[in-house]
Amino acid sequence: MLNKIKRWKNQSSSSELRERMLKIQELQIPSHIAIIMDGNGRWAKKRALPRIAGHHEGMKVVRKITRLANQVGVKALTLYAFSTENWKRPKLEVEYLMKLPEEFLGSFLPELVEENVKVIMMGDKEMLPSHTRNAIERAMEDTKDNTGLILNFALNYGSRSEIIEGIKEVLKDCKNGIIDENELNEDIFSSYLMTKGLNDPDLLIRTSGEIRLSNFMLWQLAYTEFWFTDVLWPDFAEDHFIEAIEVFQNRQRRFGGV
Ligand code: FPP
């Protein structure tokens, strides 16, 4: 057990990186970081590889960044792994993407359990193939009592439909007298969304040079700091993640105040 923790703790490659990691921990670490992991296809294309090779490489980065986030004290990491629009992709690519959670959790789950990481998911589970759903549900069950980093996979997730579903539930509860429409406020509405129980992200990272939200956490990102990078997700390294946190720590958040 001690060896594993040592491996987890000592993974950072250079002393310069370790120093930056220590430094950011002296300041406020964003409690919740959300990431739009973009650029897998372009990464593969540049190497004349099939797109799925980019996704496979991207999965390795998920492992690396999860470890690092846990190490520096991030409380929640939300990863946009598959959107409700991604079903439009070629069948083989979709099938491959649906295999990734199993592959990832198949090898990484014991480490997540040991490192006190809690796996959760947001998105419509019903449409997922049973093998994908089972892998995620097993990880959620095995880590449900963990109290460390929350690793939240956005899988078959779309923010507009999340909001519409939330509104439908609010209307139902108003009709049944469970809530009073005059008392409805932002906090109550937030509890009808898939992120119930999670703080809104403090920092959003999007890789690959695209500057848009792509139907991701539209409600929850209202006051989030955004950090965009041209780096493609499979090339995203520890020092990019640290850089994003450093930039965040130099921003002044006013939440509409002065
Ligand atoms: C967008 O890049 C990326 C995705 C739709 C999939 C992201 C998935 C992973 C990084 C792996 C997930 C891992 C687990 C464990 C679930 P793109 O394909 O749109 O890239 P492109 O814009 O360059 O074509």
Domains and CATH numbers, the chain: 29-249 (3.40.1180.10)
Q: Which residues pair with 254 in a beta bridge?
A: none
* pLDDT given for residue 249 in this prediction: 97
Which regions of the chain are under pLDDT 70?
A: 1-13
* pLDDT given for residue 11 in this prediction: 54
Q: Is any ligand 1 atom within 6 A of the Cβ of residue 104?
A: yes
Q: For a substitution probing ligand 1, which of 36, 40, 213, 236 has the most ligand atoms within 8 Å of its CB?
A: 40
- Residue spans of alpha helices (H) in the chain: 2-9, 15-24, 40-46, 51-72, 91-114, 130-142, 159-175, 186-190, 238-249
For residue range 89-131, list pLDDT tens digits in order.
Answer: 999 999 999 999 999 999 999 999 999 999 999 999 999 999 9
* pLDDT given for residue 232 in this prediction: 98
- Global pTM value: 0.94
